[in-house]
Chains A and B, each alone.
Chain A
Amino acid sequence: MFTNLWTITKKELSGYFRSRLGYFILPIYIFLVMLGTFLGTDFFARTNETLMQFFMLQNSVLQLVIPAITMKLWTDERRQNTLELLLSQPVSLTAMVLGKFFAAWGICALLLLSVSGLWLLSNFIIPLDNRGILVSFGACLLMSGALCAVCATVSALTSHAVASFMVSLLVCFILSNFNLSAWLQKANISNEVLIRSSQVLDFKQHFINIVSGQLSIANLFYYLSFMVLALWFNVAAVEYKRN
């Protein structure tokens, strides 16, 4: 299974640069991050030792970029009529889904790596909490993994890359911005269990917790279980669509 998984990951990763999608995504991501980082904020202020704003910005930028990374994962297989070919290979569906997911996640890691130079540069200018920043990069990676898993499932359920992009964008926006507990409080719903559950399930809150230095096993477990669940849905979506 792992050999096939790696074969598919390799093929998908190189596919981003063969189809030139990678060459578009990378500069757009860097541009958005740089714009958000330096526009209207004092990035090199001595108080910015955890680069908090830089990481909070990642939440917004990644939810724009990840739908573009994942939109072609499954829709292209359908458009090129290669889905039939792929699904008739002696490869498990889990390996196919994981292979594609890891490729998309790998691109996210590459994007984060591309802006990590800013962290290294900042070290020469302001005193930084390097351990905290490393954990924050981990948080970005975890969050992008969860978003990749959801968007890959959307790609498996839609027929066109554009439709996949739009639906993924909406899903990412809801996941990252919809605060259910605040909404419940506004609606005067005071059920303790409901409010507590909504806080526990808040996608963005787990990210904020890690970035603000309150990393816990619960945060890790949340994102990892989110990924597993979304990938399980991805397998089910491909299975459902082919029959």
Chain B
Amino acid sequence: MIAIKDLNKSFGCKKVIHNLNICINNNEVVALLGPNGAGKTTLMRLMTGFYQPDSGEIIINHHRLTEERIAALKNTAYVPEVGALYPEMSVFEYIKYMADLRQMANQAFIDNLLTLVQELGIEEVINQRCETLSKGFKRRVAIAGALIHRPKTVILDEPTEGLDPNQKQSVREFIRNYGKKNTVVISTHIMEEVEAMAGRVILINHGRLICDTTPALLLQNTAAADIDEAFRALTADK
């Protein structure tokens, strides 16, 4: 569960998040939408404790992020938009390092690793150095590293970026299944992804909440033919 209350964030005199209030319940996949510069990545970085908010609070799994950072992040995982792999490490070493940072027991690590490498299709590269991986494998390895401890809350920034259509399909299916028992927040520009994975859409623009609804209601309320059109209708600068 993630609760965001009266959240504000500025960089210098530029305010990027304006008084945001959002509540994300357990076991749902939420798509965070917005045009470039809307504040999606900033919001995700705030939700993972990378940035400190100017005011307001974020509660993750009943822990206040600013006061109980470690407890709040214990059951949370984040996959940033770019890179986020140590190039000189092998895939196994990278995932093991992530598991060690989460203080996972060895047996749990092995069990989860075996499941994850199979689900994400990264068995063939497990001993390969991260720098030698293709973009698609890098993305899947980053997801595997983040999910190795089976977190209750997952925040993914552009999870299918750089994947081919087949890989996209399998990662989407993986996220959809993961979201049945956990909270998943994905940031994406790909509207078909929203329909394929998310049960709820949160649209922000200029750091403000524009709408928070289901994909079906979004289409109904905007009288749009698809999410792409609804997105354009709601975010076009007048």
Residues of chain B lying within 8 A (CB to CB) of residue A88: 45, 48-50, 73, 76, 78, 80
Separation of A242 and B51 alpha carbons in the complex (Å): 7
Residues of chain B lying within 8 A (CB to CB) of residue A90: 69-74, 76, 101-102
CB atoms of A87 and B70 under 8 A apart? no
For window 1-56 of chain A, which residues contact chain B by CB distance below 8 Å? 3-4, 7-8, 11, 15, 18-19
CB atoms of B78 and A85 under 8 A apart? yes
Report B's interface with A, CB cutoff 8 A: 45, 48-52, 69-74, 76, 78, 80, 82-89, 97, 100-103
CB atoms of B97 and A80 under 8 A apart? no
CB atoms of A80 and B87 under 8 A apart? yes
Q: Is the C-beta of A89 less than 8 angstroms from some C-beta in chain B?
A: yes
Residues of chain B lying within 8 A (CB to CB) of residue A92: 69-70
Closest to B131 in A: A80
A84/B84 contact (C-beta < 8 A), A7-B97, A18-B89, A243-B52 known: yes
CB atoms of B83 and A82 under 8 A apart? yes
Write the A86-111 contact mask toward B (1 if CB under 8 angstroms, else 0). 01111110000000000000000000
Main secondary structure of the interface of B (DSSP, over half): loop
Separation of A231 and B88 alpha carbons in the complex (Å): 26
Separation of A19 and B88 alpha carbons in the complex (Å): 6
A81/B83 contact (C-beta < 8 A), A89-B73, A90-B73, A90-B74 known: yes
Residues of chain B lying within 8 A (CB to CB) of residue A3: 100, 103
For window 228-243 of chain A, which residues contact chain B by CB distance below 8 Å? 242-243
Report A's interface with B, CB cutoff 8 A: 3-4, 7-8, 11, 15, 18-19, 80-82, 84-85, 87-92, 242-243
Closest to A11 in B: B97
CB atoms of B88 and A15 under 8 A apart? yes
Least Cβ–Cβ distance between A112 and chain B, in angstroms = 25
Selected from A4, A8, A85, A242, the residue in CB contact (under 8 A) with B84 is A85
Separation of A92 and B69 alpha carbons in the complex (Å): 8
Residues of chain B lying within 8 A (CB to CB) of residue A19: 88
CB atoms of A89 and B52 under 8 A apart? no
Separation of A89 and B50 alpha carbons in the complex (Å): 9
Least Cβ–Cβ distance between B180 and chain A, in angstroms = 24
Least Cβ–Cβ distance between B17 and chain A, in angstroms = 13
Separation of A88 and B60 alpha carbons in the complex (Å): 13
Least Cβ–Cβ distance between B54 and chain A, in angstroms = 10
CB atoms of A80 and B89 under 8 A apart? no
Closest to B145 in A: A85
Closest to A88 in B: B48
Which 10 pairs of residues, A with B, have the shortest CB-CB distance?
A: A81-B83, A88-B48, A90-B73, A18-B88, A7-B100, A85-B84, A88-B78, A90-B70, A84-B80, A90-B74
A82-B85, A243-B51 known; 11 new pairs, CB 8 Å cut-off, are A7-B100, A80-B84, A81-B80, A84-B50, A85-B84, A88-B45, A88-B49, A88-B80, A90-B71, A90-B73, A90-B101
CB atoms of A91 and B70 under 8 A apart? yes
Least Cβ–Cβ distance between B231 and chain A, in angstroms = 26
CB atoms of A80 and B83 under 8 A apart? yes
Residues of chain A lying within 8 A (CB to CB) of residue B103: 3-4
Separation of A11 and B90 alpha carbons in the complex (Å): 12
